[in-house]
């Protein structure tokens, strides 16, 4: 079960400035995860778990998309950098020939 290769082609716009994805911290620590909590009724708890399950799925989907977007951006910048370096080399070459 599980390990279903999800990855439905969702939209792809890196903008996600709103996506959060920065928060961090909140370390928690998973200490006594025991059952001294405000007594969730069973139904209430199940509903909450189900909602959170779906939220987590969506959250991971968005994060994956965001990372992919960043990777694309990096690739693009690397290409651009390569092109510029090439261009600079060519210009230097021209300049050198003229100077001679």
Partner DNA sequence: ATTTCGTTACGTCATCAACC
Partner DNA sequence: GGTTGATGACGTAACGAAAT
> Which residues would be at the binding site for DNA (CB under 7 A)?
1-7, 19-30, 33, 37, 48-53, 55-60, 62-64
Query: Quick one: 49 or 75, whose CB is closer to DNA?
Result: 49
Query: Quick one: 2 or 42, whose CB is closer to DNA?
Result: 2
**3-state DSSP call for residue 94?**
helix
Would you say 21 and 63 are in contact if contact means Cβ atoms under 8 Å apart? yes
Nearby residues of 61 by Cβ (< 8 Å), 6 or more positions away: 6, 10
Shortest distance (Å) from residue 92 CB to DNA: 40
Shortest distance (Å) from residue 65 CB to DNA: 11
Query: Quick one: 29 or 97, whose CB is closer to DNA?
Result: 29
CA angle 30, 41, 44 (to 5 degrees): 80
Shortest distance (Å) from residue 47 CB to DNA: 8
Shortest distance (Å) from residue 82 CB to DNA: 26
Query: Quick one: 9 or 29, whose CB is closer to DNA?
Result: 29
Would you say 32 and 87 are in contact if contact means Cβ atoms under 8 Å apart? no
Alpha helices in 1-100 (DSSP H): 42-99
């Amino acid at each position: 079960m599980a390990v279903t290769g999800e990855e439905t082609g969702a939209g792809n716009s890196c903008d996600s400035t709103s996506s959060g994805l920065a928060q961090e911290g909140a370390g928690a620590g998973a200490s006594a995860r025991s059952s001294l909590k405000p007594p969730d009724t069973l139904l209430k708890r199940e509903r909450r778990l189900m909602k959170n399950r779906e939220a987590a799925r969506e959250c991971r989907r968005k994060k994956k998309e965001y990372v992919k977007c960043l990777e694309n951006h990096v690739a693009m910048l690397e290409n651009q950098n390569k092109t510029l370096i090439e261009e600079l080399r060519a210009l230097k070459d021209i300049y050198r020939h003229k100077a001679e």
